[in-house]
Structure 1
Amino acid sequence: MDMQGSRQLAITQQQAWDALNDPAVLKTCIPGCDKVEASGENQFSIGMALKIGPVAAKFTGKITLSDIAPPNSYTISFEGQGGPAGFGKGNAKVQLTPNDRGCELSYNVQASVGGKIAQMGQRLIDGVAKSMAEDFFKRFDDEMQKQHPGAYAAQAVADSLAGGGAPTEAASAEASSGMPTWVWALGAAVVVIAAIALFR
């Protein structure tokens, strides 16, 4: 599975970095997640429920961060087990780039899945991956608006004055196969994450 995507955020690069390294924020934003806990130096354990088609399972996994360059980038290595439902493993490179609108979060995921999930069919898996990545970004945006309302208000004013309209809510994500980073991680996202997804 290869998945790439990006998202414009109204917050600063440092604020985004802090949030993506906060287990409480990740637990709130990763769909189906009920646990993100520090388990060692630059390591987290994660638990979540996932459903793809008729396959539903509780997944547990481990995230390890490396190549850490605060507040710019890091690499996430992840692995997760869902019993008979299957497994996932891989890595994701996450980059935060400051710009005049806040910062851009981009990710590049390489991962593989096995077990019953891998038998669900590419179209179904791709749809779930895209949905979870978009869900992660929506939740992350909502959480950042709660934590940093001034940044979003200022961006809305700037957009209005520039005639550019409201900031986009759509995530730019492409999934060729597999599950989103955000399912296993985004110590991070996605993240995804994502995708999400990814997911984590």
Structure 2
Amino acid sequence: MELTETYTLPVSQQRTWEALNDTAILRASIPGCESIEADGENAFALSMAASVGPVKARFKGRMLLTDIDAPRTYTIVFEGQGGVAGFGSGNARVTLEPDGAASTRLTYTASAQVGGKLAQIGSRLVDGAARKLAGEFFRRFNALVSGEAGAEAPPADSATTDGADPESGDAQMKRNT
């Protein structure tokens, strides 16, 4: 699976970088995230619940940040195990560029592989679920970093995806794909 998207966030490049490295903001932004904790230098342990079509599971995994050029870019290398549901692994290259004085263009290119039951349900459903999770992440992330009214940490509920393509509708975040 390959996924490339660009978002414009209404905060500075430095603020975006800091938020992308803040575990409290990440926990509140990642759909279904139960915990995220530092696990060594530039590494994080993550636990989350997710549902992709008929496959529901709790995933435990690890993220490692590499090729760091603060506050411009880094690569996230990730892997996760979901028991009988299967596994996922891959990487995402994240790039931040100033877009005026008070906004940032965030672009990422992700590549992932899945196995087990996740691989059996079909790449179209998995790709759609990944897009929906990414869209929800950026909707929540945008609300938290921009300080929108009522932008409290969303509940750490199960991330449920049906493969539908997300459209956030947030006025302050532009999605450019």
TM tier relative to shorter chain: 0.7 to 0.9
Is residue 76 of structure 2 the alignment partner of residue 76 of structure 1?
yes
Is residue 176 of structure 2 the alignment partner of residue 172 of structure 1?
yes
1:121-170 deviation digits (Å, cap 9, x = unpaired):
1222222111111101100111112289xxxxxxxxxxxxxxxxx95545
CA distance in 2, matches of 1:172, 1:103: 13
CA distance in 2, matches of 1:171, 1:51: 24
- Whichever structure has more helix as a proportion of its residues is 1
CA contact (8 A) 2:10 2:173 kept: no
Equivalences for residues 7-156 of structure 1 within 5 A: 7-100=7-100, 102-146=103-147
Cα root mean square deviation, aligned: 1.8
3-state secondary structure, aligned to 1:40? coil
Q: Identity of aligned pairs, percent?
A: 46
Runs of 4+ in 1 over 6 A off after TM superposition: none
Unaligned 5+ residue runs, structure 1?
A: 149-165, 174-200
1:35-71 deviation digits (Å, cap 9, x = unpaired):
1100101110000001011110000000111111110
CA contact (8 A) 1:134 1:170 kept: no
TM-score, length-normalised on structure 1? 0.74
> CA distance change for structure 1 residues 22 and 74 in 2, over 3 Å: closer, same or farther?
same
Equivalent AA in structure 2 for residue 68 of structure 1: I
3-state secondary structure, aligned to 2:147? helix
Equivalent AA in structure 2 for residue 30 of structure 1: I
Unaligned 5+ residue runs, structure 2?
A: 150-169
Q: Which structure has more RCO (C-alpha within 8 Å, separation ≥ 6)?
A: 2
- The equivalent residue for 2:6 is 6
